[in-house]
Amino acid sequence: MRELVFGTAGIPRSTKQRSTVSGIERAAELGLGAMEMEFVRGVNITEAIASQVAEAANRTGITLSAHAPYYINFNAHQPEKIIASQQRLLKAARIAALCGARNIVFHAAFYLGDPPQQTYNTVRKYLSETLNQLKGESNPVWLRPEVTGRVSQFGTVDEILNLCAELEGLAPCIDFAHWHARTGRFNSYPEFAATLEQIKQRLGSTALDNMHVHISGIAYGEKGEIKHLNLQESDLRYTELLQAFKDYDAKGRVICESPNLEEDAQLLQTTYNSLSKTAPPQG
């Protein structure tokens, strides 16, 4: 992408008619540049509606992405749950592609008491099968495993970047609020910059040209994420994060998951646009 665009995780709250098409039109009215379709409880768009969604996105210039169902676990201990996880992700990817979305975010797995490396190997195996299926269908979407917010979930920055380096068709979704909640750290300019540098070193500079980022305020405890908060009710140092994006010339999509959705999406966009570069990238 040629710039960093900001949007909402789902239909903006101020949308009068609660439909995906109306949400896209409302996002454009608000001056935003993106919207993520939330399939988290299931894919709720038919093939017939998908064409209308694609037309609305094309007409308004809104960049679409999608979040696949939460009920995915590529480390499930029951084979039928693995198959169901693959089918849920495939269905989300197929409908999203018809809508014109090219990026599908998902939570890959839970450890379920397994060692992290064993979990990684299992996730890689079943994700590879899913990617091969999409490739065989000539589906152009990127699957984006997300950095997760709880220590029980697979999805550290290292795990996500390693998966993306090994499997063609994967790219990361970096949720900076999740990473802060999970670690209790990574909430300052040097730490944000270090994460961007890590992405660059592991996946190449092109990864910073096509980022997919989630941001929100967040409440957290010893085990990580508890719930999302509005930015100004949280301790997330979002201005420093946006400054790191500016300094690294990051491009792509920033999706706001705060409870107030469009208010914080606009806050992020306005704050980002007010910043100037302050430091060259490291390395």
**What is the mean pLDDT of the segment spanning 264-283?**
89
Counting Cα atoms < 13 Å in the Cβ hemisphere of 74 gives 26
Query: DSSP characters for 95-161?
Result: HHHHHT--EEEE--EE-TT--HHHHHHHHHHHHHHHHHHHHHTT--PEEEEBPPSBTTEE--HHHHH
The per-residue pLDDT for range 157-199, each reduced to its tens digit, is 999 999 999 999 999 999 999 999 999 999 999 999 999 999 9
**pTM metric for this prediction:** 0.96
Which whole number is the average pLDDT over 191-213? 97
Domain presence at residue 249: yes
**Is residue 257 classed as helix, strand or coil in its secondary structure?**
coil
80-108 mean pLDDT: 98
Q: Residue 38's pLDDT band (boundaries 50, 70, 90)?
A: very high
How does residue 282 score in pLDDT terms, banded at 50, 70 and 90? low
Q: How confident is the model at residue 27 (pLDDT cuts 50, 70, 90)?
A: very high
Which domain CATH number covers 151?
3.20.20.150
Instruction: Tell me what the mean pLDDT of segment 202-224 comes to.
Output: 97
Q: What are phi and psi of 66, to 5 degrees?
A: -145, 150
Nearest one of 67, 56, 70, 68 to 15, comparing CA atoms: 56
CA 174, CA 188: separation in Å to the nearest integer? 16
How much is the average pLDDT of 21-45?
97
In a domain, 280, yes or no: no
Q: Is residue 132 part of a domain?
A: yes
* Closest alpha carbon to 126 in 81, 74, 79: 74
Whether 206 is covered by a domain: the verdict is yes
For the segment 16-44, the average pLDDT, to the nearest whole number, is: 96
Top pLDDT among 107 and 279 is at: 107
What is the domain extent for residue 139? 4-274
Q: Is residue 67 part of a domain?
A: yes
pLDDT at residue 94 is higher than 80: yes
Is the per-residue pLDDT at 281 higher than 90?
Answer: no
pLDDT score at 132: 98
Do 135 and 169 contact (CB within 8 A), yes or no? Answer: yes
**pLDDT exceeding 90 applies to what percent of the chain?**
98
- Tell me how many domains the chain contains: 1
Report yes or no on 279 lying in a domain: no
Q: What is the mean pLDDT of residues 47-70?
A: 97
Instruction: Assign 4 to helix, strand or coil.
Output: strand
Residue 283, pLDDT > 70, answer no
- Summarize the confidence of residues 211-232 as an average pLDDT: 97
Query: Does 228 fall in a domain?
Result: yes
Burial 47-84 (b: 16+ CB within 10 A, else e): eebbebbbebbeebebbbbbbbbeebbbbbeeeeebeb
